[in-house]
Each structure stands twice: as structure tokens, then as C-alpha cells.
Amino acid sequence: MRRVFIADAHLAVPEDHNYGLLLDFLSGLRGNTHTLYILGDLFEFWIGYDATCFPHYRLVLDQLANLAATGTAIVYFEGNHDFHLGSYFTGTLGAAVYPDPSVLDIDGKRFHICHGDQINMKDYGHRLLRSMLHSRFSRLLIPLFPSGLACLTARYLSGRSKRKHGERNTRWDYRTLLERYADSHFRDGCDAVVTAHFHLPFISRRHNGPEKTLLSVGDWITQFSYGELKDGALSLHRFR
């Protein structure tokens, strides 16, 4: 059976178009998908709280639970909008959760998988914020704040990030950053690199020697793109 990679839905409320499409997509994975890899930022905000604090995510959580119950394994790589995921994903969904990039053995090949927000080493502001929010101290501190206050703070930070998105696109060549990042891991023996974060869907293959593949899965906001591994080959698709 196939393995599927998705990322960057930034889900907000069930009334949003991308939320409904994602529910349809997840429903279609039932019974035909070995593993669903979520490469971060599935949610606009989920940091350090129990699922009861996020009733607006109940529909998608139920779909994930249905997938898990029918045999699809769920692997979650935390992003920069959803981390310190807590016991719901490991306990209720039985998901494997990775807070950082990791190399996994999949069908006998080495896959370097990550959200991707650590790739741009020169985005110093983001790196500082990430180190603060992902620290053990913040993991202990965040649950002490009311979830409503945390959500308001997250919306502010998200809006600020979106306003700077155009500036970042002009300042950095994200595709080149991704190609260089992948090449460094190919040299370390990886057969494939799968990443997200930059909302840039593309697939790139190296043929000088054993084939190496870079897959950037894009987003589930306007592109509705996802990756698929089937019969040993990675591919990039769009839903509908």
C-alpha cells in the first residue's frame, strides 16, 4: 500500500474551504494507505494543550482516529505552529511524534524527513523564536496560561509572519535552499529528503549514481498538494 505525505494546512475553523477538502482527502485514505506522514503545521495553532482545548479541530481529529483504527499508521513531524503535541497524538492516535528532523528507514531506503523551518540558517529571528518556543522550559510553562490567551498570541504571531511572507520570498531563494539542504543529506547517505514549510510544491531527482529524490510537499491552503510513496517511487500530486 502507499504512504502519503501532507503538510501546512494551517487549519482554523471547519467552515474554511481547505478544512472541508482535507476531511474529504483523509476519508479517501482509509483502507488503502499504509502510513500518513504529517510534516507539521496541520493546525494553525496547537501548542502544549490537551485536545479538549481545540473543539474546532474535532472533525479532523476524528478522521485521524478513524484512519488509525482501520490500520493506517500516523507519523507526525512537529512544525512551527503545532508542537509540544502532548499525549493525544501518541496515546489516542498511537502516532509517532518527532519534534525534530529525523532519518527513517522506509522500504529499505533512508528518508530524511522534516517540517523544514530549520533549513534556512540565516533566518535568525525565526531561529531564535523557535528555540524559545520549542524549549523544555516553554513546554512546562505554556499549559499554565489560559488556552484562550495562548490562541490570541498565536494569531498575532501568525498574522505577523504572514505580513512578512512576501519579504522573505524576495530575500531568499527557497528552492535553492532546499536543493542544497537535500544535497547535504544525500552526501550523508540518504536516498530521499521530504520536507515542507516553504509552501513550495516540487519534486527533484538526482541521477548521477543511485537515484536520490527531494520532495517538497507544498501546502493544503491553496495548492492542496501531497506526496506519495508507492512501489518504491516518490511522486507529487494535487487533490482535485
Asked whether residue 156 carries a pLDDT value surpassing 90, the answer given is no
Quote the pLDDT of residue 150.
59
Give mean pLDDT, residues 164-175. Answer: 69
Question: For position 119, what pLDDT does the model report?
Answer: 87
Averaged confidence pLDDT in the chain:
86
Considering only 1-5, 134-138, 187-191, 199-203, which range has the smallest mean pLDDT?
A: 134-138
Where residue 123 falls among pLDDT bands split at 50, 70, 90?
Answer: low
Pick the CATH number of 2-238 from 3.40.830.10, 3.60.21.50, 1.10.287.610, 3.90.1140.10: 3.60.21.50
Closest to 85 in 3D by CA, of 48, 41, 128, 44:
48
Tell me the pLDDT tens digit for each residue of 40-99: 999 998 887 677 778 899 999 999 999 999 999 999 999 988 888 878 899 989 999 999
Q: Whole-angstrom Cα distance, residue 144 to residue 61?
A: 24
Span 155-179, average pLDDT? 69
Delimit the domains of the chain by residue range: 2-238
Say if residue 234's pLDDT is above 60.
yes
pLDDT bucket at 4, cuts 50 / 70 / 90: very high
Distance between CA atoms of 132 and 142, rounded to whole angstroms? 12
Of the candidates 11, 14, 48, 10, which has an alpha carbon nearest to the alpha carbon of residue 147? Answer: 48
Q: Is 91 helix (H, G, I), strand (E, B) or coil?
A: helix
